[in-house]
Chain A
């Protein structure tokens, strides 16, 4: 799951990036409000962690601008401002969650997963498609009651496809989900990971739409 972290404090930003990476997120880190807005408009992030006291452009202004632009991604506001009016204003302007510093990394990750899940209309914690159950928190995949070991990239790819079950995702979109900045993306990386997933989970789960991309079907196609 690729998220954007907007935090101007070098130590905190570094810690959050490292911590969220440990917990399976792909993290892009920007240090000011202008960059945050630019990146959010440019890239399909699953969610963003937004500090309010950002330089150049205040986090609240970034939030208002991206909502104005029609971006619906989940926004988790992470801030030192804990006054109730601040929280209310943050939520009213379009934040999906409001977390006051300092925050436990595991809690932050859980909140992000919940936000992403709900943004895809998924009330349960685990995603289900056909006989495959994906647990984003445990980062585990179970097929027909048996655990299936997946690499981190394979898991992320499956996660993205399951979140967008029934929708066709292009190779570029999937690559954007998988890799954060500075990571080398090989031209056929997505194909390779899809190939591995099919080998591990069977070919019925992920369909290829030629010339467009891939789609995951939630129900088995009727025979």
Chain B
């Protein structure tokens, strides 16, 4: 169960309307309450003053008329308020004068003896079924006691009249105000409704920036955020499309090679030629497989789900990878060696790090000639671990190093068929692992040297 007033409408329009109308009504009611209090206070002061003054007049009059001893019982009641006002004048304990509506008994108790002090001041009493405001005073001789009373009801009538005059306009104004507020709010939220209609109508592929005519400045940040989101999505989609197209194109070449070699094998009558073509066909298949694996790795990496990095020993991963690819090096009569310190803790994902290192070592072996040297060094420099893969191969020119990292770039004249994707993958993994990758000429071996440097773990 919810308190209904706390449950604001879901629509902005409804909320604004409720708040505006509620606020106005609240302020008005508060103003009426303040007016009530203020008017009552002022009225009490004024009318009490009148009571006091009338009492004083009666005291003075009684003093002047004492000798005549003529008891005019009833004073004339001329005004319509007259029945609501009553007075009594007692002289030496006897009723000397009273208004027509005043009872014969004293409104307040009379003093029992000459020593006792007569009544004085304001009282509120019940008399004849009504509430009266009574002012009592006495003459200097203490023999004259005057009571002047007024029905409280008459004061309340005045108060109600004042309140009525304050609240009545509100009854008419409030619906009008509600109408005006409803219209204004509706006008105010119109651009948002335009926006929501535009968004609802949009095709999933439409990523052009949105503009809303006459949008208020409050909407500008939202529109800007929305458009920047659209732009980022568009860029992502373009990159995806480019990647798919590039990948498809890149696969065409190995497929074309497989087809050509297979056709050569089919048409060949020469055994050596046929064998060569068939071997090349198999190589082509391996190559296409490798390419597909690389593309999948890259696309998984680019999907952006970042793996959980854990603390692991880089040296162990390096040894594992080198042990894996060492047969490749031995086939080419290359020397491969690992120089690793005891403890090289890094924050990484074991699988990704292995893929990265395998790429580096595999590349070094593949692109270095028969009999070359490949050296993997793992160093721990004051907590910052670096893995360097260097070879005695042909290395790279500065221009080639600059091109490195363009997807599908590969170096000419290596005699190796590659897609150039390996480096893209290596770079992507390095960035996922927050490691720095740098390429240089190996001072020791003369070939390419690639260094992977992890931040302080």
Contacts and interface: CB of A to CB of B under 8 A. Distances in A.
B260 A22 contact: no
Interface string B118-147: 000000000000000000000000000000
B73 to A, nearest CB: 121
B264 A103 contact: no
Given A15-B260, A22-B264, A32 B249 contact: no
B250 A11 contact: no
A12 B260 contact: yes
B398 to A, nearest CB: 15
Contact of A18 (B250, B254, B277, B283): B277
A10 B253 CA distance: 10
B267 A103 contact: no
B413 interface: yes
A105 interface: yes
A16 B280 CA distance: 12
Which of B257, B259, B415 is the most central at the interface, judged by chain A CB atoms within 10 Å of its CB? B257
Nearest to B408: A53
A208 to B, nearest CB: 36
B264 A9 contact: no
B412 A55 contact: yes
B257 A15 contact: yes
B406 to A, nearest CB: 12
A19 B276 CA distance: 12
Nearest to A19: B264
A22 B257 contact: no
A9 B277 contact: no
A99 to B, nearest CB: 10
Given A11-B287, A12-B260, A14-B280, A32 B412 contact: yes
Which of A9, A15, A103, A105 is the most central at the interface, judged by chain B CB atoms within 10 Å of its CB? A15
A85 interface: no
A105 B260 CA distance: 6
Interface string B245-284: 0000110111111111101100110000100110010011
Contacts of A55: 410-412
Interface in B402-440: 410-413, 415-417
A18 B252 contact: no
Contacts of B417: 9-11
Contacts of A11: 254, 257-258, 261, 280, 283-284, 287, 417
A37 interface: no
B256 A102 contact: yes
A15 B263 CA distance: 8
A204 interface: no
A55 B415 CA distance: 13
Nearest to B415: A10
Interface of B: 249-250, 252-261, 263-264, 267-268, 273, 276-277, 280, 283-284, 287, 410-413, 415-417
Given A11-B258, A18-B277, A104-B263, 6 more contacts: A11-B283, A12-B257, A14-B257, A18-B264, A55-B410, A102-B256
- Give 10 nearest A-B pairs by CB, closest first: A15-B260, A102-B256, A12-B257, A101-B256, A11-B257, A80-B252, A55-B412, A15-B261, A80-B249, A101-B252
